[in-house]
Amino acid sequence: MFALFRKCFVVFSLFFLAGSLSAQGIEFFKGTWSEALAKAAAEDKLIFVDAYASWCGPCKQMAANVFPQAAVGEYFNANFINVKFDMEKEESAEFRQKHRVRAYPTLFFIDGKNEVVHQLVGGQRVEGLIAAGGVAMGKMDDLDAYAAQWEAGPRDAKLALKYIRALVRSKESHLKVTNDYLREQQDLTSDEHLNILLVAATEADSRIFDLLVEKEDAIIARFGEEAYRNQVERAVLATKAKALEYKDANLMKTAVEKMALVDAAASKQLALAGAFALAAKGSDLKTFYKAAKKYLDKGVLGENARLEEIFQTTSSSGFIHDAKVLDLAIEAGAQAAANDAATGYRQYYRLAEFLLKQGKADQALSYAKQALSTLPPDLGNYERAIQGLIQRIEESR
């Protein structure tokens, strides 16, 4: 089983560690309502429910523009069991036995006992939805009560798990409480202790993460591959983000080394992505070009999200005046457009517009014409926009 997990994990991690994972949004649970309730009770989490209708405009807007956002996915995947139901179809029949709606969308936060903790009506933007999640968790977790119990004792495993989980969910520092508790334990193989490791390993540059990896087989056996994979993912990306925030190459190296404990191939991908991201924050042209070129040649592997990342980062960087960096940006943008049969015309348009701003009218005209030639039928607005761009390019020559 573990060998199979390794194989699956390699494929998954090659995708996310180059930077694409952070672009994913909410992952919705596929089981029944009863199964969602059981999962919520077992994991001590709330269920977030998007109760929608297929004809509802705000519902469609949230599905297209809010739920896929990286910030929303990161917050909701870590803290909730996420479910969505079309309230006019059979899929919601069990849910509708207790929960009714009068307007769409209605967004519920429900505990494992099937009780509503918090709800709101109407479409939400990213910030509003995350804020609503915070309100819901605030109603679920009483940090002051947990802290008082912790100080009074006894500090048993169940209290430790509840307190640490509440600290993590509220984004309060949990490291001292967790480390102090774990240092006093002789045996970390109980369900509560394994769960504490799974919950508290929020950054890869920590002793808690090392313990998580050490107990990998036991955690997978108890909580499943997906739970372990997701926590490793979040921890590694948190350390990567911290390395970028502080422009700390040593911290990025730590993230790469910790990833190697679980997956050597993914660690190499993280090294390429991390070096590129750090170089983009620096001021050395040679270092930036070398990292970008290496990432493009060895780290992209044909993935459009990575190609677009290179194009966006290089084209907006302070190094774009350099001819080699400009050529690299064009190469990445053109590859991304060519790989995308459905919407590649948009990338060609952006590339043409970018080149026009760079004073490269001939190249800009070539890519604008490619945008027009790859445009699907019945997209008159886009056609007029592209024709307008072509006219502007020709007038500039």
Does residue 274 share a domain with residue 391? yes
Does residue 156 share a domain with residue 127? no
207: in domain = yes
Rounded to two decimals, what is the model's pTM? 0.75
Query: What is the model's pLDDT at position 123?
Result: 95
CA distance 234 to 53: 32
16: in domain = no
Query: What is the model's pLDDT at position 15?
Result: 37
Of 115, 140, 165, which residue constitutes the final position of a domain?
A: 140
Does residue 233 share a domain with residue 316? no
Report the number of distinct structural domains present in the chain. 3
Does residue 96 share a domain with residue 35? yes
Active site residue 59: yes
Does residue 389 share a domain with residue 274? yes
Does residue 62 share a domain with residue 170? no
Contact between 366 and 341 (Cβ < 8 Å): no
20: in domain = no
Greatest alpha-carbon pair distance for the chain in Å reads 79
Does residue 161 share a domain with residue 126? no
HSE-CB for 298 with a 13 A CA cutoff: 16
Write out pLDDT tens, residues 9-32.
Answer: 433 343 344 344 444 799 999 999
Query: What is the model's pLDDT at position 12?
Result: 39
Catalytic-labelled residue, pool 56, 235, 266, 356: 56
279: in domain = yes
* Integer angstrom CA distances of residue 395 from 205, 346, 362, 365, 391: 55, 22, 12, 11, 6
Length of the chain: 397
Contact between 107 and 74 (Cβ < 8 Å): no
Does residue 160 share a domain with residue 116? no
373: in domain = yes
Does residue 350 share a domain with residue 308? yes
Per-residue pLDDT of the chain (397 residues), as tens digits, is: 333 334 344 333 433 443 444 447 999 999 999 999 999 998 889 999 999 999 999 999 999 999 999 889 989 998 999 999 999 999 999 999 999 999 999 999 999 999 999 999 999 999 999 999 999 988 888 899 999 999 999 999 999 999 999 999 888 999 999 999 999 999 999 999 999 999 999 999 999 999 999 999 999 999 888 889 889 988 999 999 999 999 999 999 999 999 998 888 889 999 999 999 999 999 999 999 999 999 999 988 888 889 999 999 999 999 999 999 999 999 999 999 999 988 999 999 999 999 999 999 999 999 999 999 999 988 888 999 999 999 999 999 8
136: in domain = yes
Of 120, 140, 160, which residue constitutes the final position of a domain?
A: 140
Write out pLDDT tens, residues 253-310.
Answer: 999 999 998 888 889 999 999 999 999 999 999 999 999 999 999 988 888 889 999 9
Of 224, 252, 280, which residue constitutes the final position of a domain?
A: 252
Does residue 60 share a domain with residue 41? yes
**CATH code assigned at 385:** 1.25.40
CB-neighbour burial class of residue 240 (10 A; exposed 0-12, middle 13-18, buried 19+): buried
* Integer angstrom CA distances of residue 53 from 59, 254, 365: 7, 46, 44
Write out pLDDT tens, residues 106-129.
Answer: 999 999 999 999 999 999 999 999
Does residue 275 share a domain with residue 390? yes
Q: Look at residues 191, 201, 253, 265 and name the one whose alpha carbon lies nearest to residue 223.
A: 191
24: in domain = no
Q: What are phi and psi of 82, to 5 degrees?
A: -105, 130
Domain that holds residue 78: 31-140
**CATH code assigned at 39:** 3.40.30.10
Does residue 374 share a domain with residue 301? yes
Average pLDDT over the chain reads 91
72: in domain = yes
